[in-house]
Structure 1
């Protein structure tokens, strides 16, 4: 069913050049925590659900891909996705697959820590425009196919940029996966508000983990971080596309998409109203 709320491409505070970089990094850290959180209300983290979705939908072809995370932010769910997928491949007796973190604004400090922890994850130090992916990224010397990941990212692109990105994807890659933690519904907005409350409750633990007393100050004394998380989260809900809207952009991107097929679904990750929404699209060989 199409959402009752029309898609509105409003501005997000975190996207603005005037938003302080140190606060942006804390927002990215909070979103990474949301991807990987396990609470009594959620049997699985959204990151593990995303990994299970890729394993199920890609099936026997899973090991033939290299996964490139565009708009990786602070790393988001990719380390957990990588760990889950490669554990699955190990059980099947197949070699591990690689993951690459990229962004228009690279968070090299965060990615370096991740890469030191996970040998199957590397990163691109230079700025990467998803609509003009550099050849050295998408033309794999090992013969692997490229699957692009957009984790809590695709809603950031307006229609013009989204078409450009999809055109570049069709021409240079072998599939893409979109994962969003929200949608254009009242339930989606309620789940965003729950994230804001959680950021306040967990502020002392995050401040300790990040060795950042300013995080606590900007959560409790001057609650900028919870406000931005909720404000941007609601805007993200209004920006998020349905699978049919993604497909419409794909078919109208100007590239030959006749062999590309789209799959989509949603899975609850937190009670009562938090859903992971996903779209996976790739070319299918006709027999």
Structure 2
């Protein structure tokens, strides 16, 4: 059923250039916590773990054929956690005993092979059942955050240069294509940020250069999935702030949560705006059909769109997802 409220591309405070960077970092950290936290009894899993299961179940055995590139990674978001959980699923299958010694870790510049001791040639020579690789990119790179995340996993790397999702560098996707690896783009809590012209440009570039993409959102354009969910999220911030202030060694987190409640106010307000910006699967399909990709409607028909809503915390915690892949036999 279509939402009663039409999509509105309203502004979010965290997107504004005047919003202080140190507060933006705390906002992004709080969103990462929302993605990666699993509270037993209350939650069946974390949203990131659920996203990993959705990728595994929808892509099946072909999941190993892809490299997953997050084109709007921000500070890292859920992608490091999705990588960990997805590779755990792969490792649990009998056919996936793998070696990670040939996989690269750390930065890979747009036109280079990186600075690691593991060469790109070694990566290309890795066994077919190797762990799935993930790459962090963004228009505004968060290199320090990504470097820390990449150091924790040999299957996670990052691009230190600015990457425009509407104009993906040929060297970025080309290096994986040359080794026979498919490219799967990730948009985690990101696609709602794009207005229609930019969303079309990104989809056009995706269809022209990639083999699949996934859109994952924690909010939706409904009263329960938008307004109520974000109110509860705000309450969770108030409860969890002392713990994370200690974990992050950040007294400012307490200051801007309780004394000057900027953090909970921005997170809840931006969450509501995100809900109003979020597209339904039907709206994303409409953009696909009108994105101007070469080949037009015939090219779009070569892609299979799957979507749904998966619960990670009853009754309000839902992960809304769209997974789109090229049909078998499509070039």
TM-score, length basis structure 2: 0.85
Find out whether 1:197 has 2:235 as its counterpart: yes
| Partner of residue 230, structure 1 | 268
- For residues 236-284 of structure 1, the C-alpha deviation after alignment (integer angstroms, 9 at most, x for no partner) is 0000000000000011111132201100010111122121000001110
Query: Which residue in the other structure is 2:210 paired with?
Result: 173
- Note if 1:270 corresponds to 2:313: yes
Q: 2:26 and 2:171 mapped to 1: Cα distance?
A: 31
The 5-angstrom pairing of residues 42-61 of structure 1 reads 42-61=43-62
Deviation at 1:91, TM superposition (A): 2.8
Worse-superposed segment, 71-80 or 88-97: 88-97
In our comparison, the structure showing a higher alpha carbon Rg is 2
Give me the whole-angstrom Cα distance separating, in 2, the residues matched to 1:193 and 1:119. Answer: 38
* Moved segments of 4+, more than 3 Å: none
Cα deviation for residue 286 of structure 1 reads 5.1
- Give 1:3's aligned residue: 3
Query: Partner residue of 1:258?
Result: 301
* Larger displacement relative to structure 2 (214-223 or 89-98): 89-98
Q: What is the deviation of 1:88? A: 2.0
CA distance in 2: counterparts of 1:5 and 1:147, whole angstroms: 31
Residue in 1 that maps onto 2:223: 186
1:37 corresponding residue in structure 2: 37
User: What is the alpha-carbon distance in structure 1 between the residues aligned to residue 2 and residue 84 of structure 2?
Assistant: 35
Query: When the two structures are aligned, how many residues end up with a matched partner?
Result: 287
Q: Deviations over 1:175-198 (max 9, x none)?
A: 100000010000122111111111
C-alpha separation in 2, matches of 1:47 and 1:111: 17
Correspondences of 1:124-163 after superposition (within 5 Å):
124-139=159-174, 140=176, 141-163=178-200
Q: After superposition, what is the alpha-carbon deviation per residue over 1:40-87, rounded to whole angstroms, capped at 9, x for unaligned? A: 311110001100000000011100000001111121111121111112
Unaligned 5+ residue runs, structure 2? 97-128, 294-298
Q: Is the 8 A contact 1:128 1:134 kept in 2?
A: yes
Write out per-residue CA displacement over residues 70-118 of structure 1, whole angstroms, 9 at most, x where no aligned residue.
1111211111211111122223322101100111111112111100001
Match in the other structure for 2:123: none
Partner of 2:285: 247
Question: Does the residue aligned with 1:67 lie in a helix, a strand or coil?
Answer: strand
Q: Counterparts in 2 of 1:65-104, with a 5 A limit? A: 65-92=66-93, 93=96, 94-104=129-139
Does structure 2 conserve the Cα–Cα contact (< 8 Å) formed by 1:89 and 1:95?
Answer: no
CA distance in 1, matches of 2:143, 2:254: 24
**C-alpha distance in 1, partners of 2:74/2:21?**
12
For residues 125 and 195 of structure 1, what CA distance do their matches in structure 2 show?
A: 32
Kept in 2: contact 1:187–1:274 (CA 8 A): no
1:122 aligns with 2:168: no
